[in-house]
Structure 1
Amino acid sequence: MVFFLLFILALALTGYFVLNQPHFGKAPSGKRMERILKSPHYKNGRFDNLNATPQLAEDTSMPEVMFRFLFGKTPDKTPSKAFHFQKTDLQQLRHDQDAFVWMGHSSYFMQIEGKKILVDPVLSGYASPFSFTGKAFAGSDVYQTGDIPVLDYLIITHDHWDHLDYNTVLKLFTRTKKIITGLGTGEHLEYWGYDPENIIELDWFESADLGNRFKVTAEPARHFSGRGLKRDQAIWASFVFETPTQRIYIGGDSGYDDHFKKIGEKYESFDLAILENGQYNDDWRYIHFMPGENLKAMKELNAKRMIPVHHSKFALAAHSWYEPLTKIAKLNTENLRLIYPKIGEKIDWKDDAKVYEKWWEKYD
């Protein structure tokens, strides 16, 4: 009995030590918490989705999901050979050139009408609390923080490990003018040393005037948040980035729901929508798109073009690494304008004459 109690005590102390490491972040407090308590989306001690959203589907349980994830067999869950991509030199882009460069998963760089923007960068080689798990596919992690130019805006859609990477943002602070994120996530950033004066922290439906006819608005997503044991202390969001001539939808992570139709009606149209495509499973079908739902969301957003992301870098679900791309291409029976950049490839999303190869077929 004594040894058992000592074991439990050691386990508890280890857990306490691990969870109090800086990269786990910090729960909101002080004036930020006062603001959160006034949010209509914060109820019973946590942020909530607009509609009822189970984390897991009704016909499954967490033990079942964990067993299948840890011990189930998934053919081609990771590529059989290393990727070989060409890296665009972001430091040498012409200032007047619009460009999009995908860095794998949900990390991407955009230059829009002179503004340099980086979204959800995870450049440390893994997407988890520990470097030995959630490793990037060989050849997918082509960008390092030293490759990133001085940023006008760093956008963080939510605080999950595969979107907010402690080691990456820590190195980017000195080269980031402003961070745009959802309400509550600023606590992590401030705790890690970022100047709160440079954090634009928005609740759903709130906007920030960025000057010179640039504007950003936080819109809903259907997902959740959390880096430790306590979930939903910061809001998860999509963002509408408006310029003098364009409107871009930054989707973050989201399951399908009626908010896409409402956003489409509110803004009328988008020049580009960047939507998740991958890491899905029927067990968590409410918080991530199932195949084809992103196409439906694209139409409801009235988006002229879509870049599917959230794939081809980390294996976070039980499907082959190439399945999300294969399926979206097959399901696109209406020939919607889908853009399939390679990692590191510079593209102009407005060039509708460009034909994008199905690059993943060379590796499947």
Structure 2
Amino acid sequence: MKVSSKNKLKKAMWVLLGLIIVFIAGVFIFVNQPMFGKAPSGARLERVEKSPNYRDGAFQNTSITPNFSSDRNFFGLMYDFLFKKVKDLRPSKNLPVIKTNLKNLGADDVLVWMGHSSLFMQVDGKKIVVDPVLVAASPLSMFNKAFKGASTYQPEDLPDVDLLIITHDHWDHLDYKTMLDLKGRVGKIVCPLGVGEHLEYWGFDPGRIIELDWHEEAEPVSGLKLTALPARHFSGRGFVRNKSLWASYMLQTGTQNIYIGGDSGYDTHFEAIKRRFGTIDLAIVENGQYNNDWKYIHLIPEDLLKAVKDLQPKRLFTVHNSKYALAMHAWYEPLELIAAAAEKDSLPLLTPMIGEVVHLKDSNQVFRKWWKPYM
């Protein structure tokens, strides 16, 4: 009996060991798929390592930035996300969307929001795309599914673009399948230092890629100046963080300063950006997928108001909402809170629905609270 029990235990242990080996091998194979990108190497890595923002083997924020603002750990937060119920986390019916033909917009300076942080802009006759995530915001299609109706825009709806701007390499800002569709249809790409390695790995022409460190500037397209600026966030598409940089940008045209905030927690950089550039005609700032547990890397509602006060833009548009449920709040909460604050403090808030054309030089354009009937 004792020998038999020992043999069964030994067999069970071998089976368990085999399963662990198979699991580890499966994870290794999975994370080595092309969609996960590639860490900087060669000459690019040499440039990364010379950056004043790169220390101890990784890019660093200006201020000390803990992963979590509470004593909770990653696994506790994941448990809440997977099993804790949140009222109205996702809309119960299709969101309203306008399917604007992006290939036939005339000559006006316009902006069209495609949901989350994905933007199409036409400025001075140049076509610009920012963080286009039109297929998947996750390596697994079963996770991070778009809200009903919010995935109306697909890569084929984009025209050939003069300039593609990437703020960082997270899945909800850099979509592998959208990138593959755009390959060969892009004039220039501006991205933070290190992100170009992903793009080259995916087959983009390195001669079209311009990588910028914070405070570096370029004129990727004649008449358009782009300056990479700090943001308080992090990067990474797999298990390793911060091998590439994250950034916000100031896009300067002949007539406008447009701030593209990317993802960022609150810090002194907003005030510094205002001092440096003076007039900000339009500020595009994240608003959504926030949580007090990670308030250092995303703008919680009260910090969003601080950032807006620092930037003092002539017009404000908030993104990072209305397409994916990546945090534990009602899907409409970010819009409700900023709209209430805008009424209270007379903030120049724009609230277009997905696909609605924003005329960048029409300060009298009016938008409605489109989310109200869908709450």
Classify the TM-score, shorter chain.
over 0.9
Alignment of 1:284-363 (within 5 A): 284-332=294-342, 333-363=344-374
Q: Which has the larger displacement, 252-261 or 285-294?
A: 285-294
Per-residue CA deviations over 1:296-344 (Å, capped at 9, x if unaligned) read 2122123111110000000000000000000111122211100001101
Question: Could you tell me whether the CA contact under 8 Å between 1:159 and 1:185 is conserved in 2?
Answer: yes
1:48 equivalent in alignment to 2:60: yes
Which of 279, 283, 291 aligns to 2:293? It is 283
**1:265-298: per-residue Cα shift (whole Å, max 9, x none)?**
0111211010000000011011000113223212
Partner of 1:110: 121
Q: 2:179 aligns with which of 169, 183, 188?
A: 169
Letter of the 1:299 counterpart: K
Residue deviations 1:80-106 (CA, integer Å, cap 9, x gap)? 111232211011111x31011000000
Matched letter for residue 24 of structure 1: F
* Correspondence for 2:157: 147
Note the 1:69-88 alignment, pairs <5 A.
69-88=81-100
Residues 116-155 of structure 1: pairs in structure 2 closer than 5 A = 116-124=127-135, 126-155=136-165
**Identity score, percent:** 54
Aligned to 2:10: none
The TM-score with structure 1 as length reference comes to 0.97
SS at match of 1:352: coil
Aligned position for 1:241: 251
The question of whether the paired residues in 2 share the 8 Å contact of 1:57 and 1:284 is answered with: yes
Q: Which amino acid aligns with 1:100?
A: L
Deviation at 1:62, TM superposition (A): 1.9
Instruction: Report the AA paired with residue 85 of structure 1.
Output: V
Q: What is the identity, as a one-letter code, of the residue corresponding to 1:357?
A: R
Q: Which segments of 5 or more consecutive residues in structure 1 lack a partner in the other structure?
A: none
Q: Given that residues 292 and 328 in structure 1 are in contact (C-alpha distance below 8 angstroms), is that contact kept between their aligned partners in structure 2?
A: no
Q: How many residues align?
A: 362
Asked if 1:39 corresponds to 2:46, the answer is no
Q: Which residue of 2 aligns with 1:274?
A: 284
RMSD over aligned Cα atoms: 1.1
- The TM-score with structure 2 as length reference comes to 0.95
Note if 1:57 corresponds to 2:57. no
What is the one-letter code of the residue matched to 2:212?
L
CA contact (8 A) 1:292 1:331 kept: no
| 1:213-252 equivalent positions in 2, closer than 5 A | 213-252=223-262
Within 1, Cα distance between the matches of 2:255 and 2:341? 31
**Per-residue CA shift, 1:31-78, capped at 9, x if unaligned?**
000000100101111001000001111332222211211111100000
Letter in 2 for 1:282: N
Alpha-carbon separation, structure 2, partners of 1:277 and 1:289: 7
Amino acid at match of 2:79: F
- TM superposition outliers: structure 1 runs of 4+ over 4 Å: none
Q: Is the 8 A contact 1:253 1:288 kept in 2?
A: yes
Question: Which whole-Å CA distance do the structure 2 matches of 1:295 and 1:267 have between them?
Answer: 20
Q: Assess if the C-alpha contact under 8 Å between 2:188 and 2:220 holds in 1.
A: no
Q: Which amino acid aligns with 1:78?
A: R
Deviations for 1:156-198, whole angstroms, at most 9, x for unmatched residues?
1000000000000110012111111000000000000001110
Q: What is the alpha-carbon distance in structure 1 between the residues aligned to residue 220 and residue 98 of structure 2?
A: 33
- The code of the aligned residue for 2:150 comes to S
Could you tell me how far apart the structure 2 residues matched to 1:243 and 1:119 are?
A: 16
Q: CA deviation at 1:211?
A: 5.4
Q: Deviations over 1:86-140 (max 9, x none)?
A: 211011111x31011000000010101111100001111x311111110001101
Mark the runs of 5 or more structure 2 residues left unpaired by the alignment.
Answer: 1-12
With over 3 angstroms needed to count, the CA separation of the structure-2 counterparts of 1:65 and 1:136, relative to structure 1, is same
Find the aligned partners of 1:198 and 1:85 in 2 and give their Cα distance: 33
Between the aligned partners of 2:221 and 2:242, the Cα distance in structure 1 is: 31
SS of alignment partner, residue 254 of structure 1:
coil
Letter in 2 for 1:114: G
Query: Does the 8 A contact of 1:280 with 1:290 survive in 2?
Result: yes
Which secondary structure does the structure 1 equivalent of 2:79 belong to? helix
1:98 matches 2:115:
no
Equivalent-residue separation in structure 2 for 1:292 and 1:116 (angstroms)? 34
8 Å contact from structure 1 (residues 150, 176) kept in 2: yes
The answer for the alignment partner of 1:4 in structure 2 is 16
Moved more, 345-354 or 106-115: 345-354
